[in-house]
């Protein structure tokens, strides 16, 4: 007899959500997770909650408030006098936010009857799991009817610049600086590099981001990317495109980054260096080779459309499988797998998964870009509306950015929505709902939006698809 109906490897957004949904469906469920907090206590939530999405947003909010106090409050008549930033207090607030939410997940496990097992797990034949509890060297074996692998991902480390946890750091290290560095270098111009670079730049750090490609954020619609690049540079972020790092030299006082760009050999001197060049799936220690679990050349678990691996009863979700490394994608896959185990037939709409970059302003998108549609030979129409023509944006004091909607040239079905502007991460939800229900741009154009709101820019962009915006 099996010890559990379902054993989940990993307590991140995919794993803990899958475990809770399994328990809701009446399945006896365990979640094995090896993460510890700074005090050495088990801490659910994975990278996202402990050292990723949540703490970075806490720091982004603090740094944004500080930046506004220095540069925007006076225009509102708020005179604050001499300002300083208590980084220790900011970090303490971040820690409190994380602790509140990790404790909340533990409470949810208790509420739903999920067994939380702190420890390390690896696969064994015939749906067995070898468990090494935290703090112990002895192993024990558990039997499961079903196994869900949700072990997440880790930062890539470049061979000639290993992380030291203090001066050459990954995203976790960049979240924990005790003071704003004088000079910060960032290798990698993706989401993590931009967000964490923005945090310290707003607090006064001279920040330089080295981007390898010739396009800024190539996954974005080019019109959105160009607007964001211009504004981020104007705010003080030193973003350099088409760079190739050739060497990194660390001395007792500084880090010297040697790179080449269109003008030849260059050198950048910094105090701290964040390496943010992508992430790799955590599949090296789960026993994949021993049990014959198929991995691709990059270490991702091969799964079908329903997240089933090649092993009977073994599923995989989130960062260890194909698709974007996004917490909400992992969570939806976790729910879907739980429901499939219970005999239901859910679907995950991969075409309507939104993404957000939490710069200021934010960047959010769902669906395809103009460049992707053109490359695929799809006829489309576009509608663009700038926030400088939006009343609420003026009242809020931030008119940067635009909304762009792309619709099929024949059917008018929405194929992509791209938003760069204040609260773009919230505004994109309307577009996701519209695309999930196969809406046309005309559907959004006929939908009444409250005035004055930022969402009116979405309405006007939909009107612009048909060439009839009102306020521009």
Contact 377, 371 (CB under 8 A): no
> Are the C-beta atoms of residues 167 and 248 closer than 8 Å to each other?
no
For residue 200, which of 217, 216, 182, 212 has the smallest C-alpha distance? 182
* Bridge partners of residue 117, in order along the sequence: 32
112 is catalytic: no
Q: Which long-range contacts (CB under 8 A, 24 or more apart) does 211-216 make?
A: 211/239, 211/240, 211/241, 211/242, 211/243, 212/188, 212/242, 212/243, 212/244, 213/189, 213/241, 213/242, 214/241, 214/242, 215/241, 216/189, 216/241
Q: How far apart are CA 467 and CA 472, in angstroms?
A: 11
| Per-residue b or e along 160-170, where b marks 16 or more CB atoms closer than 10 Å to that residue's CB | ebebeeeebbb
Judge whether 203 and 306 are in contact, CB under 8 Å: no
The C-alpha R_g of the chain, in whole angstroms, comes to 24
With the C-alpha atoms ordered 84, 362, 259, 242, is the resulting torsion angle positive or negative?
A: negative
Which residue in 103, 156, 451, 471 is the catalytic one?
451
Long-range contacts made by residues 20-24, C-beta under 8 angstroms, separation at least 24?
A: 20/108, 20/109, 20/112, 20/114, 21/334, 21/335, 21/338, 21/339, 22/114, 22/338, 22/341, 22/342, 23/112, 23/113, 23/114, 24/112, 24/338
**Strand 140-149 to 314-316 pairing:** parallel
Q: How far apart are the first and last CA of the chain?
A: 68
Helix, coil or strand: residue 441: helix
Residues serving a catalytic function are 451
């Amino acid at each position: 007899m099996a010890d559990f109906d379902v054993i989940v490897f990993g307590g991140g957004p995919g794993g803990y959500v899958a475990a809770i949904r399994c328990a809701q469906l009446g399945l006896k469920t365990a979640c094995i997770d090896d993460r510890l907090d700074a005090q050495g206590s088990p801490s659910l939530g994975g990278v996202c909650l402990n050292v990723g999405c949540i703490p970075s947003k806490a720091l982004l909010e603090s740094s944004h408030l500080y930046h506004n106090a220095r540069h925007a409050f006076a225009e509102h008549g708020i005179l604050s006098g001499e300002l300083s930033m208590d980084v220790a207090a900011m970090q303490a607030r971040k820690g409190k936010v994380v602790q509140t939410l990790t404790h909340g997940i533990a409470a949810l496990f208790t509420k739903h009857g999920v067994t939380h097992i702190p420890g390390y797990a690896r696969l064994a034949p015939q749906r067995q799991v070898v468990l090494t509890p935290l703090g112990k060297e002895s192993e024990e074996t558990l039997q499961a009817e079903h196994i869900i692998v949700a072990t997440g991902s880790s930062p890539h480390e470049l061979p000639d610049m290993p992380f030291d946890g203090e001066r050459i750091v990954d995203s976790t290290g960049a979240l924990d600086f005790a003071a704003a560095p004088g000079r910060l270098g960032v290798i990698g111009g993706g989401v993590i590099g931009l967000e964490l670079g923005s945090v310290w730049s707003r607090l006064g750090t001279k920040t330089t981001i080295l981007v390898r490609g010739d396009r800024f954020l190539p996954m974005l619609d080019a019109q959105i990317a160009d607007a964001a690049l211009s504004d981020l540079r104007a705010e003080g972020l030193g973003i350099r495109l088409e760079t190739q790092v050739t060497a990194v030299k660390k001395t007792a006082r500084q880090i010297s980054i040697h790179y080449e760009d269109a003008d030849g050999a260059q050198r950048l001197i910094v105090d701290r260096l964040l390496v943010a060049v992508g992430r790799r799936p955590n599949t090296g220690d789960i026993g994949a080779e021993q049990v014959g679990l198929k991995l691709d050349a990059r270490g991702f678990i091969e799964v079908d459309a329903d997240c089933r691996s090649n092993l009977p009863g073994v599923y995989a979700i989130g960062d260890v499988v194909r698709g974007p490394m996004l917490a909400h994608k992992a969570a939806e896959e976790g729910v879907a797998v739980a429901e499939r185990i219970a005999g239901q037939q859910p679907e995950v709409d991969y075409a309507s998964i939104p993404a957000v970059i939490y710069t200021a302003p934010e960047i959010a998108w769902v669906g395809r870009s103009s460049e992707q549609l053109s490359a695929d030979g799809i006829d489309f129409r576009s509608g663009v509306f700038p926030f400088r023509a939006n009343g609420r944006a003026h009242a809020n004091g931030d008119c940067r950015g635009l909304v762009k909607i792309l619709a099929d040239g024949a059917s008018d079905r929405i194929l992509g929505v791209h938003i760069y502007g204040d609260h773009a991460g919230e505004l994109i939800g309307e577009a996701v709902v519209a695309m999930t229900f196969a809406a046309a741009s005309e559907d959004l154009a006929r939908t009444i939006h409250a005035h004055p709101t930022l969402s009116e820019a979405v309405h006007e962009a939909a009107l612009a698809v048909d060439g009839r915006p009102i306020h521009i």
